[in-house]
Each structure stands twice: as C-alpha cells, then as structure tokens.
Amino acid sequence: MSIDPEARAYLEATALLGLPPIWEQSPEEARRVVNMRYPGLAGPPEEVARVEELLVPGPAGPIPIRVYTPISAGSGPLPALA
C-alpha cells in the first residue's frame, strides 16, 4: 500500500526524534512534545460563554460529552462536531 509523500516525510521526521509512540507517553510528555513540535498550537485557551457536561445515549450506556458555547454564539444554530 502506498503512502502520500508528505505523510511519509512527516512519519520519517517523527521517527528521527527517537520518542516513544504517543500511546506509550504520559499525557504530560505528549503535551510537551506537541508544544515543542507545533508551538503555534500552544497558547491561552479560547474564552467561552458556557461549558455544559452532558450525557448522550450510546450502545453500551451513556457517553459523556462537553458542549462549549462561544461568546459570540448569538441565537442561531451552532456547528456540531461528531
């Protein structure tokens, strides 16, 4: 199976770092690596108007979700991520 050349370059660059796979890193170590590799992603959190902790039905029981409502939400529909 072939792989996109840009994806291959990314994977090769990641391998050169000599880091363990992300699933073997602690959350703190994974955050440090991401912040080191992608400094533009680090920064202060976006302010939101409201955060709701909800449960939605799932095939094996309730699934916890978190709904973030932006300050500029207005009264219309908001985009959804699944």
Q: What are phi and psi of 60, to 5 degrees?
A: -115, 20
Domain boundaries, the chain: 5-41
Q: How many helices (H) and strands (E) does the chain have?
A: 2, 2
pLDDT, tens only, 10-33: 888 888 888 888 889 999 998 888
What mean pLDDT do residues 49-69 have? Answer: 94
Q: How far is CA 63 from its chain centroid?
A: 18
What is the average per-residue pLDDT within 44-48? 83
